[in-house]
Amino acid sequence: MREARGTSPYTLDSAVTPNTATYNGDTVVSYVMTPNGQKIRTNVPGSQIFSDPTSNVLQTLNNLVADFSSGTASTTAISDTTALNSALNYVSQQRVVIDNSITQLQAAQSYVQTQRTQITSAQTNLMQTDVAQVSTQLSTAETQQAALTQVLNILEKNNGDLFSLL
């Protein structure tokens, strides 16, 4: 949630009964790209967490406060309690979105750590390489490649007939 400096993400209007809460933050959803190209959501805007098309957690809480403010339950207390239950279920659903993102980020972190370990190991192997031995192996491989190329050229001239060469 992004907000201007000095601006609260929510404001309470106590001039009305029941009080109302207003979301002042933005609705921007942020993502992070992992090294393996995965796009992971990193936030859920406050407006999406605390309100859905049918209920608003903060407004429902304000309604319940108003329901019981006189010392006895008002006629809407039962429906407001049911609405609060529905709103809190919606908040739980939004938490699943965040939990999934955390799981994906942890998996990405594990992937990066594994890659780092493999790269460090490869770097260590390269630094410990016996240059003379590798040069000899390279020279041998080049000689073998040249010999194979000659054999292939001869086979090509004879249309692939090995028996004519014997």
Closest CA to 94 of 37, 54, 51, 149: 51
Of residues 52 and 155, more confidently modeled: 155
User: What is the average per-residue pLDDT within 144-163?
Assistant: 84
- Cα–Cα distance measured from residue 38 to residue 18, given in angstroms and rounded to the nearest whole number: 45
Cis amide linkage into residue 18, ω under 30° from 0: yes
Per-residue pLDDT band for 1 (boundaries 50, 70, 90) equals: very low
Q: Do residues 65 and 21 lie in contact, with contact meaning Cβ atoms separated by under 8 Å?
A: no
User: What is the average per-residue pLDDT within 75-79?
Assistant: 90
The share of the chain scoring above pLDDT 90, in percent, equals 31
- pLDDT(151) > 80: yes
